[in-house]
Chains A and B, each alone.
Chain A
Amino acid sequence: EVQLVESGGGLVQPGRSLRLSCVASGFNFEDYAMHWVRQSPGKGLEWVSGISWNSRSIGYADSVKGRFTISRDNAKNSLYLQMNSLRGEDTALYYCAKDRNNGHGYFGSWGQGTLVTVSS
């Protein structure tokens, strides 16, 4: 069974940084692209970033480009999101999502999310 467990969320002041982690199990992590998707309270879904299996292909939403960095460690079955210069509009539940196939661009499995609150 695929399991994705996010951590690292919390309350942070505007302008500060936070690093999210996602530990994967139940599948060959190194075979799949991975993504971060966020959802503001009571709102819709927003794709944040995606990374290919070998980290050679990476993409970001314009809203986070230059501030967020996605990375992965296949030896640790882990996905990361380094978030710098955080803003109030980054407040959201951040989901780790497994690509349905490698680079397919659909989200076949999701974690339960980690909540990031940006506020002074």
Chain B
Amino acid sequence: EIVLTQSPATLSLSPGERATLSCRASQSISTFLAWYQQKPGQAPRLLIYDASNRATGVPARFSGSGSGTDFTLTISSLEPEDFAVYFCQQRSFWPPITFGGGTKVEI
């Protein structure tokens, strides 16, 4: 099973700042990685798939990069609605599909 490790666990930033979230895979997963955003009381929302492709309707301030074992989600300038928990997820060699433990972006 591929283990995804996200860091940091919590990121404390202010609106307008740049956020950089990391996800590391226990073995190479090529670019088979997605990022999701989850707000309290809501289901997760797909932001990025295949490491760098924005899902429909996702603002351009969200970008993804990486391949192999190291991946990054960048939010170029935080908006108030971006404060949430972010999860990475891999689909290489599934089943199983696995998620990272999450990074909370807080004010």
Contacts and interface: CB of A to CB of B under 8 A. Distances in A.
Interface of A: 35, 44-47, 50, 59-62, 95, 100, 104-108, 110-113
A47 B43 contact: no
Contact of A105 (B43, B91, B99, B102): B91
Interface in B77-105: 87, 89, 91, 94-102
B43 A112 contact: yes
Given A44-B102, A45-B87, A61 B95 contact: yes
Identify whether the interface residues of B are mostly helix, strand, loop, or mixed. loop
Contacts of A62: 1, 96
Q: Which 4 A-B residue pairs are closest in the complex by CB-CB distance? A: A105-B91, A59-B95, A110-B43, A47-B97
A59 B46 contact: no
B32 A105 contact: yes
5 contacts: A44-B100, A45-B44, A47-B96, A100-B46, A112-B43
A50 B91 CA distance: 12
Interface in B28-87: 32, 34, 36, 43-46, 49, 55, 87
A113 B43 contact: yes
Contacts of A60: 95-96
Contacts, number: 61
A15 B99 CA distance: 27
Interface residues of B, number: 22
A108 B46 contact: yes
Nearest to B92: A105
B91 A104 contact: yes
Nearest to B85: A44
A111 B43 contact: yes
Contacts of A35: 97
A111 B42 CA distance: 9
Contacts of B97: 35, 47, 50, 59, 105
B62 to A, nearest CB: 15
Given A59-B95, A104-B49, 14 more contacts: A45-B102, A47-B89, A50-B95, A59-B94, A59-B97, A60-B96, A61-B95, A95-B44, A106-B91, A107-B34, A107-B44, A107-B89, A110-B43, A112-B43
